[in-house]
Amino acid sequence: ATPYNHREIEKKWRSNWTKKPVNVNDGSKPKYYCLDMFPYPSGSGLHVGHWRGYVISDVWSRYKILKGYYIIHPMGWDAFGLPVENYAIKMGVHPSKSTAENVANIKRQINEISAIYDWGMEVNTTDPEFYKWTQWIFVKMFKAGLAYEKEMPINWCPSCKTGLANEEVVNGCCERCGEPVTKKNLKQWMLKITQYADRLLDDLDKLDWPEKVKKMQSDWIGKSYGAEIDFAVKGSDKKVKVYTTRPDTLYGATFMVLAPEHSLAKELAVEEQKSAVEEYLFKSSMKSSVDRLQDKEKTGVFTGSYAINPLNKQLVPIWISDYVLADYGTGAIMCVPAHDDRDFDFAKKFNIPIIQVIAKDGIENPNLTEAYTESGIMINSGEFNGMNSTDAKRDVPGLLEASGIGKKTTNYKLRDWVFSRQRYWGEPIPIVHCEHCGAVPVPEEELPLLLPEVERYQPTGTGESPLADIHEWVNTTCPVCGKPAKRETNTMPQWAGSSWYFLRYVDSKNKNELVSREKAEKYLPVDMYIGGVEHAVLHLLYSRFYTKFLHDIGVVDFDEPFIRLFNQGMIGKNGAKMSKSKGNVVSPDDLVRDYGCDSLRLYELFVGPPELDSEWDDRGMDGVYRFINRFWNLVMDNKDTNRKATEEMVKVRHKMIYDITARLETFSLNTVVSGFMEYNNKLIDLVKKEGGLDKETLETAIVLLAPFIPHVAEELWSQLGHRESVFAEKWPEYDEDKMKDNEIEIAVQINGKTKTVVMVGADEGKDTVISKAKESVADKLTGNIIKEIYVPGKIVNIVIK
Ligand code: ANZ
Ligand code: ZN
C-alpha cells in the first residue's frame, strides 16, 4: 500500500479546499461564530505557542461543520500600538509599511495551519476604512455624554512616554514594558465605563465563561455596599465624610485617616503640626504608586485635630497616611484597629487605643495580637450589644441612616477609562478644540479622520503626541462656527479597535454602516471566543462595554459579545514562557516541513490539557507522527477487505464515537488524542483477530479524526472511494445499546481469595451467575458451603468450612 507522505497530501488537499471550500453557507444551515482573539502582527512571527489557540479553534470549527453548521471563522489584525511604532523609531520604517510586511508573513504562517479562515472577512484596525468606525463610535459616545475631558493625575509610563488606563497598570508597572508607573497631571479624554458598571457586573451571569475570568471581572468592577458617615471636626464647622463597608463597627472607631491628597489634609493641621504635615505630604507626593503599594511599614502624621464619633461622641484623632487612597470612596476612613489589619498595624505603631466591638462568643480578648476579622457577638457597642455581628452588618447601615448619622451607599473599584495616548501610531481622536464652541466632534460624514504622515515618531515626553508638531494638520476650522480651531492631537489606546472588531468581520466591506442590521441579526454575536487569559480585564471588559453601548444606540440587538469563552494555556519550553527574548522559541515552519501540518496540529493538542500551561517537547512530535502512520496503514491495508462487521466491531465503533464526542464536547482535547491512540490499537487488535475490519468502522474513525488531521482524513476518505469531501459528512452518532458490553467478568472467590474469573451475560440473574461460578471452581470446593455472596456485576464469594 502507498505509504503516508505528508508533503504530497497536504499540498493536494490545500489546493482542493481552495477550489472547493468545505464551509458553505447554503442559507439553510444555522450559523456558528467561532472567533480567535486576533493577533498583533509583530515582526518575529508565530511560534508553536501561537499555534495552539488557532488549532483549538479550527478543530472546534471543523467539528461544528460536521455537526451541520455554517461557520463564521474570520481572522484579522490588531495592528496599532507601540511595538510597530518603536520599530519605526529605531529603524525609520513607516509603521504602515512594517505592519504590511508583518501581516504578509504571519498570514503565510497561519495558512500553514490549514485552518478554515474566511479571508474574505479580514479586517485590519489600521485600515482607514476600519478605523473610520472606531472613530465613529467615539463620536457617538461623545454625543451620548460618555466621552469627556478631564485634567487629573493619571498613570504615566516614563519609558513609553504615555498615559495608561488603570487596566494597563499591573502591580504598579506598565503592562507593555514593565517600567514602574508614575503619575502625571494631564488633560485626558475619558470614557465613562463606570456608567455601565452594574450591567457589566450583573450580565456576567448570562455568560458561559470560565468562572475564574468572571471573578476577575467582578473583582475589578469591585462593587461594595456600605455607608457614608459624617464625622464633625471638634471646634470647627468642618465635617469629614468617610466611606465604610463596616458601619456596624462604628463604636470601635478610635481614629481617622485622610489620604494625603484629601482636600482637608492641610487645613486640619493645627499650628504646631503644620510643618510635620507639610513634610509628610511632600514626601508622599514624591513616592511612586508602586512604593505606596509596596510599603510594608505604615507611615503617617497626626494633624492635631479631632473628630467626634457620631455614636458615642468620643473624640478620635485625625491622621494623614498614604495607605488611604485618594480616589476610592471619599478618600477618608474611620479606623477600627480591632477589626481591620491595616488599621491594627497603624494603631500599634502610633500607640492608638484599640477597642474590640466584635468577639467570639461575646467574650472580649484583652490582648489582641492581630485584628479580629471573623464574625461574633457585638460588645462595647451600646444599643448594638448582644447582636450577632452578621445581623449587625446587615441592619446597622439602615439604623444609622434612619437616625441621620450615615447614608447607605454603594461603591465601585472600577474607574472611568483613560482614553488618550500621547503616541503616534493610533487612531486620531476625532475632536476639534474651538475657543468659542469648546470640544466639537468631527462631523460623522468627514470620517475617517486620517492619521497624517509625520517625520518624527518619537514620543515627545511633554504630554503631547508627535501629531502636535504637524501644524498644517493641527490647525483647522471649527465644524460649528467656522473660526480657526485646533485638532485634538492625542490618539486612542490600542484597545479601541479590538473593542468592537468582531462585529465588523461579518460585514467588513460595508461603506455606510459599521455593520448592517441584517448581517448582525444573521451572524452575530460570537458563539465561541478562544484566546489567552491575559485579556481577562482589559480587552474582555472593554469589548463588553462597547457592545452594550452599540446595543443602546441600536447598532446591534444583543448586549453581550461573546456567549462562550475558552482560554488556552501558554506553551513553554525549558521551564519558561516561549518568547523571543528568552531564546526558547520553537518555530512551526520546520516542524510542518518535517512532520506535516497534521502532526503538528495533533501535538499542539496532545501537549497537555488545553486550558493549562504546558511544556513543549520536540520528541512528542515523533509520537503523534507514528500514530498517524499506524492509522494510515490500518485504513490502507483494510480498505478493500470488505469484512462484514462483527458484534465486537460494532461495539468498538459505538464506544469510540461516544468517547471521542464526550471528550471533545468538554474541550478535553489532549484526551481526545490519547483516545484516538487507544482506539487505533483496539482496531489493529481486531484486525489481527478477525483478519480485517468492516468499512463502516474505518469510515467512522476517519470522520471522527477529520477535525484534527483534516488532510489525512480527506485522503483516506477518498481512498475509500468517496468523491465528496469528508466534511460533507455528518458527525457520527452512537447508540447506547450497541455500546453495552454484553459479557462481563465476574471474579470468583473462595473465602475472600480470588481463584478465577468467569464470563457471564451482562443481564444474567443471580442464581445463574452463582452456579456458573461454582462450576468454574468445582475442584476447589473441598468443604461445606456455608454462604454464597454475590456483588452484582463484580464478585461471587463462596464461603466454605
Ligand atoms: C471601617 C472598617 C472596619 C473597614 C473594619 C473595614 C473593616 P472595600 O471592600 O475594598 O470597598 N477604605 C475606604 N475607603 C478607602 C480608601 N480610599 N483607601 C483605603 N481604604 C479605604 O473596602 C472598604 C473598606 O476599606 C472601608 O471599610 C474602609 O475601611 C476602607 F473592620 O471602614 B472600613
Ligand atoms: Zn467653534
The complex scores an ipTM of 0.91
Taking Cα atoms as reference points, which of 122, 127, 97, 128 lies closest to residue 110?
122
pLDDT at 458 over 80: no
The Cα 699–Cα 682 span in angstroms is 15
pLDDT at 287 over 80: no
Q: Which grid coordinates are listed for 786?
A: 456455608
Confidence of residue 454 (pLDDT cuts 50, 70, 90): confident
pLDDT at 254 over 70: yes
- State the sign of the Cα–Cα–Cα–Cα dihedral 294, 298, 301, 306: positive
Residue 290's pLDDT is 61
pLDDT at 579 over 80: no
- Could you say which ligand is closest to the alpha carbon of residue 393? 1
**CA-nearest residue, atom 14 of ligand 1:** 329
Q: Which grid coordinates are listed for 613?
A: 500551561
**598 C-beta neighbours (distance < 10 Å), count:** 26
pLDDT in tens, 483-510: 999 999 999 999 999 999 999 999 999 9
244 within ligand 1 shell (Cβ under 6 A): yes
HSE, CB side, 13 Å, CA atoms: give it for residue 221.
Answer: 26
* Ligand 1 atom closest to Cα of residue 338: 31
Q: Which grid coordinates are listed for 169?
A: 497598570
> Backbone phi, then psi, for 529, in 5-degree steps?
-115, 130
> For residue 432, how far is its CA from the centre of ligand 2 (angstroms)?
8
* Segments in 465-516 forming alpha helices (H): 471-474, 495-498, 501-504
How large is the average pLDDT for residues 589-612? 95
The Cα 428–Cα 487 span in angstroms is 9
The larger pLDDT score, comparing residue 64 to residue 288, is at 64
> For residue 437, how far is its CA from the centre of ligand 2 (angstroms)?
4
* Ligand 1 atom closest to Cα of residue 249: 3
Judge whether 7 and 502 are in contact, CB under 8 Å: no
- Sequence length of the chain is 801
333 within ligand 1 shell (Cβ under 6 A): yes
- State the sign of the Cα–Cα–Cα–Cα dihedral 414, 420, 422, 427: positive
How large is the average pLDDT for residues 233-242? 94
339 within ligand 1 shell (Cβ under 6 A): yes
* Segments in 467-538 forming alpha helices (H): 471-474, 495-498, 501-504, 517-523
Ligand 2 (ion): which residues have CB within 5 A?
434, 436-437, 478, 480-481
Residue 294's pLDDT is 63
Judge whether 217 and 204 are in contact, CB under 8 Å: yes
**CA-nearest residue, atom 18 of ligand 1:** 324
Query: CA geometry: angle at 41 spanning 591 and 550, to 5°?
Result: 125
- Position 168, amino acid: E
Cis, bond preceding 710 (omega within 30 deg of 0)? no
Strand pairing class (239-244; 255-258): unpaired
**743 C-beta neighbours (distance < 10 Å), count:** 10
pLDDT at 744 over 90: no
Q: Which grid coordinates are listed for 645?
A: 462487521
**R_g over Cα of the chain:** 34
**CA-nearest residue, atom 7 of ligand 1:** 340
pLDDT in tens, 382-405: 999 999 999 998 888 888 899 888
Q: Which residues pair with 377 in a beta bridge?
A: 359, 388
How large is the average pLDDT for residues 179-204? 93
DSSP 8-class letter at 39: P
The Cα 228–Cα 397 span in angstroms is 9
The Cα 261–Cα 716 span in angstroms is 72
331 within ligand 1 shell (Cβ under 6 A): yes
411 within ligand 1 shell (Cβ under 6 A): yes
pLDDT at 291 over 70: no
Residue 580 is assigned to a ligand binding site: yes
**CA-nearest residue, atom 20 of ligand 1:** 324
pLDDT at 66 over 70: yes
Residue 181's pLDDT is 86
Q: Which grid coordinates are listed for 399?
A: 439604623
340 within ligand 1 shell (Cβ under 6 A): yes
pLDDT at 80 over 80: yes
The Cα 268–Cα 261 span in angstroms is 13
Residue 288's pLDDT is 65
336 within ligand 1 shell (Cβ under 6 A): yes
- Could you say which ligand is closest to the alpha carbon of residue 413? 1
pLDDT at 320 over 80: yes
Of 194-208, 393-407, 548-562, 614-628, which range is least confident?
A: 393-407
Confidence of residue 292 (pLDDT cuts 50, 70, 90): low
Cis, bond preceding 247 (omega within 30 deg of 0)? no
The Cα 141–Cα 417 span in angstroms is 13
Instruction: Give the C-alpha distances (Å, rounded to integers) separating 457 from 91, 179, 238, 426.
Output: 11, 21, 51, 12
User: Mean of the per-residue pLDDT values for the chain?
Assistant: 92
328 within ligand 1 shell (Cβ under 6 A): yes
> For residue 429, how far is its CA from the centre of ligand 2 (angstroms)?
17
Please provide the distance, in angstroms rounded to a whole number, between the alpha carbons at the two ends of the chain: 63
Q: Which strands make up the sheet holding 475-477, listed edge to edge?
A: 438-441, 431-434, 484-487, 475-477
Whole-structure pTM value: 0.85
**CA-nearest residue, atom 29 of ligand 1:** 244
* Ligand 1 atom closest to Cα of residue 331: 17
How large is the average pLDDT for residues 307-322? 94
Residue from 218, 241, 298, 333 whose mutation best tests the ligand 1 pocket (most atoms within 8 A of CB): 333
The Cα 72–Cα 34 span in angstroms is 6
pLDDT in tens, 350-380: 999 999 999 999 999 988 999 999 999 999 9
**CA-nearest residue, atom 31 of ligand 1:** 339
Residue 578's pLDDT is 80
H or E stretch at 107: helix 95-111
Residue from 225, 228, 231, 244 whose mutation best tests the ligand 1 pocket (most atoms within 8 A of CB): 244
- Domains of the chain (ranges, CATH numbers): 6-133+495-545+554-568 (3.40.50.620), 134-219+416-487 (3.40.50.620), 224-411 (3.90.740.10), 588-738 (1.10.730.10), 741-800 (3.10.20.590)
